[in-house]
Amino acid sequence: MSAPLTVAVTGLNATDNPGPGVGVIRSLRHCRDDVRVVGLAYDALEPGVYADGLVSDVFLIPYPSQGIDPLRDRLSYIRERTGFDVIIPTLDAELPGFVELAPELAAQGVGTLLPTREQLDLRCKAKLAALGDKGLPVPASRVLTDVTQLYAIHEVIPFPIVVKGPYYGARVAHTLEEAVAAFYKMVGEWGYPVIVQQFVAGQELCVCAVGDGEGGLVGAVQMRKTVITDKGKGWAGVAIRDPGLSQLTATFMSATRWRGPCELEVIRDADGGYHVLEVNPRFPAWCFLSAGAGMNLPYAVAELAAGRELSPLHDYRVGTMFVRIALDQISDMDAFSRMSTAGEVVRSHGVAR
Amino acid sequence: MQRLRDLAISDTGFVFDPFSGATYTVNGTAQCLLDGLKRGLDRDGLVALLRERFECSDEDLPRDIDDLVQSLRMFGLVPGGFEVGR
């Protein structure tokens, strides 16, 4: 039995478009009593803050837009208070800051398992086409910074197309009018640039995977969404095994030497061809399926980030399902007031050593 | 044929395809035929299996087999040109 591990996790915004944090935390605590979790939240009303059965302590951290110095200072304070050993960031927009801070954190004894800045840039939506040069099948795409660029887009990418924001959001457009409307919606929500991608019909499949940073695969779980929300998010899904998808995942890892967790979003077309739509550089919100199916990838990341020997990863059980549920958590005003004023809720009496 | 062999079929006729994640429900006849196809039975073997399990007329049996194979092709569970051997 190894020493207890204290893991700080971000992404507690468990709304109908949930961040991955709660899924990561549930995985870390799945069948284990040697993990203590510190939640890192951006807002006092993030639902995960009030999951006191899952999260021992919660602290507000500054938004990525505030820059790296406030984040460094805040993490230093939280480390003093809680003594966390590992951080697992789970949101796209915060990753550049954590990647930049990783060497400093390592020097202080805090482990991470994150991609390099180059890897992070390689898979960003605006540069996804570069993965095609590495042997991965990606649909044709263009990066737009002006709506007028849409008027001639059909010359290089025929309709229907998918209009995407730089971090989140995607809309299928069958006509120029629909594309223009989608363009402004993406800009309004997420800013520039806007990415236009060839629409590919087929079955949407996802892979939650962890790379070892040397081209190898620590583990991966494949999933097909069985219920999709109006935002295109999986509300239910089932673990599957597609040998072609396994090969694609292995190719991605060897081509990029990816380090840490990621999610591949893939379309399998009617002819059995694969198309990588997106690579998300962090755990997906559905990652608890990996623990439920027997291959606990978040815990594996925590172990590797802490520099520990990896516990044996068992193969996952194909056919394991997840069905999400919306629950009303009951809390009192005390936790909310402490989050709103002091920016923290500490339930575990400080450093657990 | 690997996809057909990999199908998980419950006693109640619930079928799960681990490759695609798709699920189906089948009646007793189809369940019996799927079992026979997974075991590699030819048409005569399938007919014998149905006769053994069900009271049915001989003229129904080839049609039942062809109907199921057509459905399997449609769902991509067997190759497009798949035919049950004689």
Residue A353 clears pLDDT 50, i.e. is over it: no
User: Is residue B18 situated within a structural domain?
Assistant: yes
Minimal CA separation from A289 to chain B, in Å: 14
Burial class of B41 by CB neighbour count within 10 A (0 to 12, 13 to 18, 19+): middle
The first and second tokens of residue A1, run together, are 């039995």
Q: Which residue among A198, A221, A236 closes a domain?
A: A198
Whole-number Å distance between alpha carbons of A28 and A216: 23
Please report how the helices B28-38 and B43-53 are oriented relative to each other, as an axis angle in degrees rounded to 10: 140
Whole-number Å distance between alpha carbons of A248 and A195: 23
Q: Which domain holds residue A53?
A: 5-113+327-346
Number of compact structural domains in chain B: 1
ipTM surpasses cut 0.90? no
The per-residue pLDDT for A350 is 54
Q: A65: which residues sit within 8 A by CB, 6+ positions away?
A: none
The per-residue pLDDT for B81 is 86
User: Is residue B13 situated within a structural domain?
Assistant: yes
Number of compact structural domains in chain A: 3
Q: Is A228 on the interface with B (CB under 8 A)?
A: no
How would you label A120-147 residue by residue, b for 16+ Cβ within 10 Å and e otherwise?
Answer: bebbbbbebbebeeeebbbbebbbbeee
Through-space distance between the first and last CA atoms of chain B, rounded to whole angstroms: 17
Average pLDDT, chain A: 93
Integer CA distances (angstroms), A235 to A170, A238, A326, in order: 17, 11, 10
User: Is residue B42 situated within a structural domain?
Assistant: yes
pLDDT digits (tens, 9 = 90+) for A68-93: 999 999 999 999 999 999 999 999 99
A vs B: CB pairs below 8 A: 20
* Residue among A223, A226, A242 minimizing CB distance to B19: A242
Query: Cβ–Cβ of B20/A318 closer than 8 Å?
Result: no
Say if residue A235 is in the same domain as residue A155: no
User: Is residue A87 situated within a structural domain?
Assistant: yes
Q: Is A226 on the interface with B (CB under 8 A)?
A: yes
Q: Is A318 on the interface with B (CB under 8 A)?
A: yes
* Residue among A203, A237, A240 minimizing CB distance to B18: A240
Q: A170: which residues sit within 8 A by CB, 6+ positions away?
A: A162, A163, A164, A232
pLDDT digits (tens, 9 = 90+) for B8-47: 999 999 999 999 999 999 999 999 999 999 999 999 999 9
Percent of chain B whose pLDDT exceeds 70: 100
Q: Which domain holds residue B41?
A: 2-74
Label the pairing between strands A321-323 and A274-280: unpaired
Q: Is A54 on the interface with B (CB under 8 A)?
A: no
Contacts of B79 in chain A (CB under 8 A): none
Show which of residues 14-53 on chain B sit within 8 Å of chain A, judged by CB atoms. Answer: 16, 18-21
Q: Mutating which of B20, B73, B74, B77 best tests the A interface, going by the most A Cβ atoms within 10 A?
A: B20
Contacts of A226 in chain B (CB under 8 A): 21
Whole-number Å distance between alpha carbons of A273 and B35: 29
User: Is residue A135 situated within a structural domain?
Assistant: no
Residue B69 clears pLDDT 70, i.e. is over it: yes
User: Is residue B20 situated within a structural domain?
Assistant: yes
Whole-number Å distance between alpha carbons of A265 and B57: 50
User: Is residue B81 situated within a structural domain?
Assistant: no
Please report the DSSP string for A12-43 in residue order. ---SSS--SHHHHHHHHHTT-SSEEEEEEESS
Contacts of A203 in chain B (CB under 8 A): 20
In A3-111, beta strands by DSSP E: 5-9, 35-41, 57-60, 86-88
Query: Cβ–Cβ of B18/A224 closer than 8 Å?
Result: no
Q: Is A238 on the interface with B (CB under 8 A)?
A: yes
User: Is residue B86 situated within a structural domain?
Assistant: no
The per-residue pLDDT for A348 is 80
The per-residue pLDDT for A351 is 52
Whole-number Å distance between alpha carbons of A61 and A55: 16
Residue A289 clears pLDDT 80, i.e. is over it: yes
Q: Which residue in chain B is spatially nearest to A245 when comparing CA positions?
A: B19
Burial class of A118 by CB neighbour count within 10 A (0 to 12, 13 to 18, 19+): exposed
Q: Is B80 on the interface with A (CB under 8 A)?
A: no
pLDDT digits (tens, 9 = 90+) for A143-188: 999 999 999 999 999 999 999 998 778 899 999 999 999 999 999 9
pLDDT digits (tens, 9 = 90+) for A97-113: 999 999 999 999 999 99
Contacts of A238 in chain B (CB under 8 A): 21
What amino acid occupies position A131? L
* Residues paired with residue A294 on neighbouring β-strands, in sequence order: none
Say if residue A316 is in the same domain as residue A340: no
Say if residue A167 is in the same domain as residue A98: no
Query: Cβ–Cβ of A240/B19 closer than 8 Å?
Result: yes
Say if residue A161 is in the same domain as residue A271: no
